Amino acid sequence: AQSVTQLDSQVPVFEEAPVELRCNYSSSVSVYLFWYVQYPNQGLQLLLKYLSGSTLVKGINGFEAEFNKSQTSFHLRKPSVHISDTAEYFCAVSGRNSGNTPLVFGKGTRLSVIA
Amino acid sequence: GAVVSQHPSRVICKSGTSVKIECRSLDFQATTMFWYRQFPKQSLMLMATSNEGSKATYEQGVEKDKFLINHASLTLSTLTVTSAHPEDSSFYICSARDLDRGNSYEQYFGPGTRLTVT
C-alpha cells in the first residue's frame, strides 16, 4: 500500500517569488508520482508526472518536480509564481504493477499568491 | 485525447429525491472508473471503483445502497445518490482508466459535479 504526506496545508507567497510545495510518499514497491492542480469548483488537472528516467520532471505552467528516491520525496517547484497559480495542489502516488488500484492522494496544499 | 466528461456540472435537489451523475470517457474505452467525493477544502475521498460489466467495489464506510454505481458500457459510468439528504451535498469527481493502453497507471479526471441538497 502507498501513502502520501503533503507537509504544508497552506503556502502563502508573494507574486514573482519562488515556491516549493513538499510531498513525501511511502511505498513498499516502486512508484509512479503525480502532481495535480485544482482551481475552485473544477476537476483535477495533471501538472506533471514521474514514471522513470530523469528525476527532474518538467510540467505545464512552468512547474517542475524532482523525484528523490532516497528521501522518498517529490517536491513541486516554480521559480516565479503568478496570481493565476493560486489553487489547490495535490500530490498522488501509484504503485508500479499494482493492478487496478486507484491513485492515492495527499491532503492537498493551498497555494495563495499575494500581489 | 483521454477526455472525461461529467453531467451535470451542478445540480440542486430536494431532500428525499434521487440524483444521477454521469461520467463519460469521450475518446477512449474506460475499463475502470473511480468515483471520488470531495468536501470543501479537503482532499479527494475514494468512494468506489467500478469495472465495466461487474459490480462496483465500495470503500469502507460508503453505503452501496445509497450510492448506486452502474458501469454498463465501456464509456459510461453513473453514480446515483438515492434519497439524498443535505449531508450528501458535496463535489463528486469521477476518473477513468484504460487498462488497454500501455500507460495503464494514468487516471483521467472529469470536471466534477457540485451537488446541493436542500
More confident position, A20 or A43: A20
Res A52 pLDDT > 90: no
C-alpha B95/C-alpha B24 separation (Å) is: 9
Sort A45 into a burial class: Cβ within 10 Å, 0-12 / 13-18 / 19+: middle
Specify whether the CB–CB gap between A5 and A106 falls below 8 A: yes
Closest CA to A54 of A39, A69, A38: A69
- pLDDT (average), residues B39-43: 84
The pLDDT, as a whole number, for residue B1 is 67
CA distance B68 to B63: 9
Q: What is the mean pLDDT of residues B48-57?
A: 88
The strand pairing partners of B5, in sequence order, are B24
Could you tell me if A105 lies within 8 Å of chain B, comparing CB atoms?
A: yes
Residues of A numbered 68-97 whose beta carbons fall under 8 angstroms of chain B's beta carbons: which are they? 88, 90, 94, 96
- The verdict on a CB contact (< 8 Å) between B49 and A102 is yes
Q: Does A8 touch chain B (CB under 8 A)?
A: no
State the pLDDT confidence band at A88, using cuts at 50, 70 and 90: very high
Res. A28 pLDDT band, cuts 50 70 90: confident
- Residue in the structure block whose three cell numbers are 479526471: B109
β-strands B76-81, B67-73 pairing: antiparallel
pLDDT at residue B104 is higher than 80? no
State the pLDDT confidence band at A98, using cuts at 50, 70 and 90.
Answer: low
| B26 in reach of chain A (CB within 8 A) | no
B100 — pLDDT class (breaks 50, 70, 90):
low
**Which among A32, A36, A42 has CB closest to B105?**
A32
- Counting residues of chain B whose pLDDT is more than 70, the rounded percentage is 94
**Which residues in chain A are closer than 8 Å to B44, comparing Cβ atoms?**
44, 90, 105
> Which alpha helices (H) appear in B1-118, and where do they start and end?
none
Give me the half-sphere count of Cα atoms (radius 13 Å) on the Cβ side of residue A89.
32
